[in-house]
Protein backbone atom coordinates (compact mmCIF):
# COMPACT_ATOMS: atom_id res chain seq x y z
CA UNK A 1 0.00 0.00 0.00
CA UNK A 2 1.36 3.41 -1.06
CA UNK A 3 0.06 6.92 -0.36
CA UNK A 4 0.74 9.79 -2.76
CA UNK A 5 -0.30 13.33 -1.86
CA UNK A 6 -0.93 16.31 -4.10
CA UNK A 7 -0.56 19.91 -2.98
CA UNK A 8 -4.20 20.60 -2.08
CA UNK A 9 -4.19 19.40 1.53
CA UNK A 10 -0.83 18.04 2.73
CA UNK A 11 -1.87 18.13 6.41
CA UNK A 12 -4.67 15.59 6.05
CA UNK A 13 -2.41 13.37 3.91
CA UNK A 14 0.24 13.40 6.64
CA UNK A 15 -2.40 12.65 9.29
CA UNK A 16 -3.70 9.71 7.27
CA UNK A 17 -0.17 8.37 6.81
CA UNK A 18 0.51 8.72 10.54
CA UNK A 19 -2.72 6.86 11.41
CA UNK A 20 -1.79 3.98 9.08
CA UNK A 21 1.90 4.14 10.04
CA UNK A 22 2.78 4.45 6.35
CA UNK A 23 5.12 7.24 5.19
CA UNK A 24 3.98 9.26 2.19
CA UNK A 25 5.50 8.14 -1.09
CA UNK A 26 8.14 10.55 -2.33
CA UNK A 27 6.80 12.48 -5.29
CA UNK A 28 7.47 15.84 -6.88
CA UNK A 29 4.35 17.79 -7.91
CA UNK A 30 5.48 21.11 -9.30
CA UNK A 31 4.95 23.64 -12.09
CA UNK A 32 6.79 24.63 -15.22
CA UNK A 33 7.28 28.38 -15.66
CA UNK A 34 4.02 28.59 -17.63
CA UNK A 35 2.21 26.82 -14.73
CA UNK A 36 1.85 23.44 -16.45
CA UNK A 37 1.72 20.64 -13.89
CA UNK A 38 4.67 18.26 -13.76
CA UNK A 39 4.68 15.11 -11.64
CA UNK A 40 7.51 12.71 -10.88
CA UNK A 41 6.93 9.75 -8.56
CA UNK A 42 10.29 9.11 -6.95
CA UNK A 43 9.65 5.59 -5.61
CA UNK A 44 8.84 2.29 -7.27
CA UNK A 45 5.06 1.69 -7.35
CA UNK A 46 4.95 -1.27 -9.75
CA UNK A 47 2.28 -3.71 -8.59
CA UNK A 48 1.33 -1.54 -5.60
CA UNK A 49 -2.08 -0.52 -4.26
CA UNK A 50 -1.76 3.27 -4.48
CA UNK A 51 -4.01 5.90 -2.89
CA UNK A 52 -3.82 9.47 -4.21
CA UNK A 53 -5.01 12.05 -1.66
CA UNK A 54 -6.14 15.28 -3.28
CA UNK A 55 -9.10 17.56 -2.59
CA UNK A 56 -10.30 19.52 -5.61
CA UNK A 57 -10.67 22.71 -3.55
CA UNK A 58 -9.45 26.24 -4.30
CA UNK A 59 -7.81 26.67 -6.75
CA UNK A 60 -10.11 23.92 -7.97
CA UNK A 61 -8.86 23.70 -11.55
CA UNK A 62 -5.18 23.50 -10.54
CA UNK A 63 -5.82 20.81 -7.95
CA UNK A 64 -8.02 18.82 -10.30
CA UNK A 65 -5.30 18.89 -12.96
CA UNK A 66 -2.71 17.79 -10.38
CA UNK A 67 -4.92 14.82 -9.51
CA UNK A 68 -5.29 13.77 -13.14
CA UNK A 69 -1.56 14.05 -13.89
CA UNK A 70 -0.62 12.11 -10.73
CA UNK A 71 -3.04 9.32 -11.68
CA UNK A 72 -1.60 9.18 -15.19
CA UNK A 73 1.95 9.03 -13.83
CA UNK A 74 1.02 6.13 -11.53
CA UNK A 75 -0.79 4.25 -14.29
CA UNK A 76 2.25 4.55 -16.55
CA UNK A 77 4.44 3.38 -13.63
CA UNK A 78 2.41 0.11 -13.54
CA UNK A 79 0.61 0.60 -10.22
CA UNK A 80 -1.68 -2.37 -9.63
CA UNK A 81 -4.63 -0.29 -8.45
CA UNK A 82 -5.11 3.48 -8.14
CA UNK A 83 -7.68 4.90 -5.74
CA UNK A 84 -8.42 8.63 -5.98
CA UNK A 85 -9.09 9.84 -2.44
CA UNK A 86 -10.95 13.15 -2.60
CA UNK A 87 -11.80 14.41 0.91
CA UNK A 88 -13.66 17.19 -0.91
CA UNK A 89 -15.08 16.57 -4.39
CA UNK A 90 -15.25 19.87 -6.25
CA UNK A 91 -17.78 20.67 -8.98
CA UNK A 92 -20.31 18.53 -7.07
CA UNK A 93 -22.79 21.43 -6.93
CA UNK A 94 -23.17 21.21 -10.71
CA UNK A 95 -24.88 17.81 -10.64
CA UNK A 96 -27.85 18.57 -12.92
CA UNK A 97 -29.06 21.05 -15.54
CA UNK A 98 -30.80 23.86 -13.63
CA UNK A 99 -31.54 25.65 -16.89
CA UNK A 100 -30.98 25.44 -20.64
CA UNK A 101 -27.45 25.38 -22.04
CA UNK A 102 -25.78 24.61 -18.70
CA UNK A 103 -23.24 21.81 -18.03
CA UNK A 104 -23.34 18.86 -15.67
CA UNK A 105 -19.78 19.43 -14.52
CA UNK A 106 -19.84 16.72 -11.84
CA UNK A 107 -20.27 14.11 -14.57
CA UNK A 108 -17.49 15.70 -16.64
CA UNK A 109 -15.08 15.55 -13.69
CA UNK A 110 -16.08 11.93 -13.02
CA UNK A 111 -15.24 11.10 -16.64
CA UNK A 112 -11.88 12.87 -16.40
CA UNK A 113 -10.86 10.96 -13.28
CA UNK A 114 -11.91 7.64 -14.81
CA UNK A 115 -10.18 8.33 -18.13
CA UNK A 116 -6.98 9.39 -16.36
CA UNK A 117 -6.73 5.84 -14.99
CA UNK A 118 -8.28 5.73 -11.51
CA UNK A 119 -9.65 2.31 -10.55
CA UNK A 120 -11.88 3.55 -7.73
CA UNK A 121 -12.82 6.73 -5.86
CA UNK A 122 -13.11 7.45 -2.14
CA UNK A 123 -14.72 10.69 -0.96
CA UNK A 124 -16.70 12.21 1.91
CA UNK A 125 -20.22 13.66 1.89
CA UNK A 126 -20.90 14.20 -1.78
CA UNK A 127 -23.20 17.16 -2.34
CA UNK A 128 -25.66 14.81 -4.02
CA UNK A 129 -25.62 11.05 -3.54
CA UNK A 130 -26.44 10.37 -7.18
CA UNK A 131 -22.97 11.62 -8.17
CA UNK A 132 -21.77 8.11 -7.23
CA UNK A 133 -23.63 6.94 -10.32
CA UNK A 134 -21.69 9.38 -12.52
CA UNK A 135 -18.62 7.16 -12.10
CA UNK A 136 -18.17 3.95 -14.05
CA UNK A 137 -15.75 2.70 -11.36
CA UNK A 138 -16.44 1.72 -7.71
CA UNK A 139 -17.06 4.83 -5.60
CA UNK A 140 -17.23 4.94 -1.79
CA UNK A 141 -19.01 7.95 -0.32
CA UNK A 142 -18.13 8.19 3.38
CA UNK A 143 -20.16 10.17 5.90
CA UNK A 144 -18.75 12.67 8.37
CA UNK A 145 -21.93 12.31 10.45
CA UNK A 146 -20.44 9.96 13.11
CA UNK A 147 -17.46 12.28 13.66
CA UNK A 148 -19.65 15.39 13.88
CA UNK A 149 -22.26 13.72 16.10
CA UNK A 150 -19.56 12.54 18.51
CA UNK A 151 -18.41 16.14 18.89
CA UNK A 152 -21.99 17.35 19.43
CA UNK A 153 -22.61 14.71 22.11
CA UNK A 154 -19.45 15.73 23.97
CA UNK A 155 -20.11 19.48 23.84
CA UNK A 156 -23.89 19.73 24.17
CA UNK A 157 -24.67 16.98 26.64
CA UNK A 158 -27.81 17.78 28.61
CA UNK A 159 -28.79 20.78 26.51
CA UNK A 160 -32.14 21.21 24.77
CA UNK A 161 -31.01 20.65 21.17
CA UNK A 162 -32.81 21.32 17.90
CA UNK A 163 -31.27 20.13 14.61
CA UNK A 164 -31.94 22.58 11.79
CA UNK A 165 -31.72 22.10 8.05
CA UNK A 166 -30.74 25.45 6.47
CA UNK A 167 -32.77 24.59 3.35
CA UNK A 168 -35.35 22.09 2.16
CA UNK A 169 -32.75 20.19 0.11
CA UNK A 170 -30.81 19.25 3.25
CA UNK A 171 -33.72 17.71 5.14
CA UNK A 172 -32.59 14.10 4.65
CA UNK A 173 -29.13 14.89 6.06
CA UNK A 174 -30.59 16.85 8.99
CA UNK A 175 -33.04 14.05 9.75
CA UNK A 176 -30.13 11.59 10.05
CA UNK A 177 -28.46 13.88 12.60
CA UNK A 178 -31.71 14.36 14.51
CA UNK A 179 -32.36 10.62 14.62
CA UNK A 180 -28.85 9.82 15.86
CA UNK A 181 -28.93 12.58 18.50
CA UNK A 182 -32.59 11.94 19.44
CA UNK A 183 -33.35 15.62 18.87
CA UNK A 184 -36.27 17.39 17.14
CA UNK A 185 -35.92 18.79 13.63
CA UNK A 186 -36.63 22.23 12.17
CA UNK A 187 -36.39 23.38 8.55
CA UNK A 188 -35.62 26.78 7.09
CA UNK A 189 -37.51 27.63 3.93
CA UNK A 190 -35.52 30.10 1.86
CA UNK A 191 -35.71 31.62 -1.58
CA UNK A 192 -32.49 32.02 -3.55
CA UNK A 193 -32.75 35.06 -5.78
CA UNK A 194 -29.37 34.54 -7.48
CA UNK A 195 -26.19 32.45 -7.14
CA UNK A 196 -24.48 32.76 -3.74
CA UNK A 197 -27.30 34.86 -2.28
CA UNK A 198 -30.23 33.69 -0.17
CA UNK A 199 -33.19 35.11 1.68
CA UNK A 200 -34.72 33.37 4.68
CA UNK A 201 -38.47 33.18 4.27
CA UNK A 202 -39.87 30.97 7.02
CA UNK A 203 -38.91 28.59 9.84
CA UNK A 204 -40.79 25.30 9.99
CA UNK A 205 -40.77 24.19 13.62
CA UNK A 206 -40.73 25.84 17.05
CA UNK A 207 -37.13 26.70 17.92
CA UNK A 208 -37.90 28.89 20.92
CA UNK A 209 -35.73 28.05 23.93
CA UNK A 210 -33.59 25.53 22.01
CA UNK A 211 -29.89 25.41 21.21
CA UNK A 212 -30.07 25.19 17.43
CA UNK A 213 -27.46 23.28 15.43
CA UNK A 214 -27.60 23.75 11.68
CA UNK A 215 -26.10 20.91 9.62
CA UNK A 216 -25.03 21.01 5.98
CA UNK A 217 -22.47 19.51 3.60
CA UNK A 218 -20.85 22.66 2.14
CA UNK A 219 -20.45 26.23 3.39
CA UNK A 220 -19.09 28.59 0.74
CA UNK A 221 -19.89 32.29 1.17
CA UNK A 222 -21.73 31.55 4.47
CA UNK A 223 -24.61 33.83 3.44
CA UNK A 224 -27.22 31.13 3.99
CA UNK A 225 -25.90 30.17 7.43
CA UNK A 226 -25.63 33.77 8.62
CA UNK A 227 -29.14 34.69 7.43
CA UNK A 228 -30.50 31.50 8.97
CA UNK A 229 -28.74 32.17 12.29
CA UNK A 230 -30.26 35.65 12.46
CA UNK A 231 -33.73 34.26 11.73
CA UNK A 232 -33.38 31.53 14.36
CA UNK A 233 -32.32 34.00 17.05
CA UNK A 234 -35.25 36.25 16.16
CA UNK A 235 -37.52 33.21 16.52
CA UNK A 236 -36.31 32.68 20.10
CA UNK A 237 -33.41 30.25 19.79
CA UNK A 238 -31.03 30.36 22.78
CA UNK A 239 -27.87 29.81 20.71
CA UNK A 240 -27.14 28.94 17.09
CA UNK A 241 -24.13 26.95 15.84
CA UNK A 242 -23.46 25.04 12.64
CA UNK A 243 -21.79 21.74 11.74
CA UNK A 244 -20.70 21.49 8.11
CA UNK A 245 -18.62 18.82 6.38
CA UNK A 246 -16.72 21.00 3.90
CA UNK A 247 -15.61 24.54 4.75
CA UNK A 248 -15.00 26.17 1.36
CA UNK A 249 -15.34 29.64 2.98
CA UNK A 250 -14.50 31.73 -0.05
CA UNK A 251 -14.47 35.50 -0.40
CA UNK A 252 -15.44 37.32 2.78
CA UNK A 253 -17.10 34.30 4.40
CA UNK A 254 -15.01 34.35 7.59
CA UNK A 255 -15.64 38.06 8.15
CA UNK A 256 -19.34 37.49 7.49
CA UNK A 257 -19.40 34.77 10.14
CA UNK A 258 -17.74 37.09 12.63
CA UNK A 259 -20.48 39.68 12.20
CA UNK A 260 -23.36 37.20 12.39
CA UNK A 261 -25.44 35.70 15.19
CA UNK A 262 -23.74 32.34 14.65
CA UNK A 263 -21.91 31.32 17.81
CA UNK A 264 -19.63 28.75 16.17
CA UNK A 265 -19.05 27.01 12.85
CA UNK A 266 -17.55 23.53 13.05
CA UNK A 267 -16.01 22.12 9.87
CA UNK A 268 -13.81 19.15 9.03
CA UNK A 269 -10.26 19.27 7.66
CA UNK A 270 -11.33 17.97 4.24
CA UNK A 271 -10.20 21.33 2.78
CA UNK A 272 -6.91 23.03 3.60
CA UNK A 273 -7.56 25.91 6.01
CA UNK A 274 -6.71 29.44 4.95
CA UNK A 275 -5.00 31.80 7.36
CA UNK A 276 -8.34 33.57 7.97
CA UNK A 277 -9.93 30.26 8.98
CA UNK A 278 -7.02 29.29 11.23
CA UNK A 279 -7.14 32.52 13.25
CA UNK A 280 -10.92 32.87 13.39
CA UNK A 281 -12.54 32.56 16.82
CA UNK A 282 -15.82 31.49 15.21
CA UNK A 283 -14.50 28.54 13.19
CA UNK A 284 -13.36 25.23 14.69
CA UNK A 285 -11.99 22.28 12.73
CA UNK A 286 -12.19 18.57 13.54
CA UNK A 287 -10.33 15.85 11.68
CA UNK A 288 -11.78 13.19 9.42
CA UNK A 289 -8.31 11.75 8.72
CA UNK A 290 -8.90 8.66 10.95
CA UNK A 291 -12.18 7.95 9.13
CA UNK A 292 -10.54 8.20 5.69
CA UNK A 293 -7.52 6.18 6.83
CA UNK A 294 -9.70 3.39 8.19
CA UNK A 295 -11.67 3.26 4.93
CA UNK A 296 -8.42 3.13 2.92
CA UNK A 297 -7.16 0.29 5.09
CA UNK A 298 -10.36 -1.67 4.54
CA UNK A 299 -10.27 -1.09 0.78
CA UNK A 300 -6.66 -2.27 0.65
CA UNK A 301 -7.51 -5.41 2.63
CA UNK A 302 -10.76 -6.03 0.70
CA UNK A 303 -13.00 -5.80 3.77
CA UNK A 304 -16.28 -3.97 4.36
CA UNK A 305 -16.30 -0.17 4.28
CA UNK A 306 -20.03 0.22 5.01
CA UNK A 307 -19.59 -1.50 8.39
CA UNK A 308 -17.74 1.66 9.51
CA UNK A 309 -21.18 3.25 9.88
CA UNK A 310 -23.08 0.37 11.49
C-alpha–C-alpha distance, residues 150 and 46, integer Å? 40
Neighbouring CB atoms inside 10 A of 102's CB total 10
Neighbouring C-alpha atoms within 13 Å toward the C-beta of 59: 5
The answer to whether residues 142 and 122 touch, using CB atoms and an 8 Å cutoff, is yes
C-alpha–C-alpha distance, residues 152 and 85, integer Å? 26
Binding-site entries for Mg(2+):
127, 167
Binding-site entries for ATP:
34-36, 93-94
Say which of 2, 160, 190, 263 is annotated catalytic: 190
Neighbouring CB atoms inside 10 A of 86's CB total 29
Counting beta carbons within 10 angstroms of the beta carbon of residue 300, is it exposed (0 to 12), middle (13 to 18) or buried (19 or more)?
middle
Binding-site entries for D-ribose 5-phosphate:
192, 216, 220-224
Select from 201, 251, 268 the least CA-distant residue to 11.
Answer: 268
**Cα→Cα distances 186→73, 159, 162, 190, 214, Å:** 48, 16, 7, 13, 9
Q: What is the CA radius of gyration of the chain?
A: 20
Please list the residues that pair with 122 across neighbouring strands: 85, 140
Q: Which residues contact 60 (CB under 8 A, 6 or more apart)?
A: 90, 91
Which SS3 state, helix, strand or coil, does residue 169 take?
A: helix
**Is 190 designated active site?**
yes
C-alpha–C-alpha distance, residues 158 and 138, integer Å? 41
Residues noted as catalytic:
190
Amino acid sequence: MKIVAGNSNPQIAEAIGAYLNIPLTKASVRRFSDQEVFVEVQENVRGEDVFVIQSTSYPANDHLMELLVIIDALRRASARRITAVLPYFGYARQDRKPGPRTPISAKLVANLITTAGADRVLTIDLHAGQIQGFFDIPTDNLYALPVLCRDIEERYQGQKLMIVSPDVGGVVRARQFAKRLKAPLAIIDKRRESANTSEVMNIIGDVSGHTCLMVDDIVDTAGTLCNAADALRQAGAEDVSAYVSHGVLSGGAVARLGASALKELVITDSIHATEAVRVSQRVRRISVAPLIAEAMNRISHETSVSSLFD
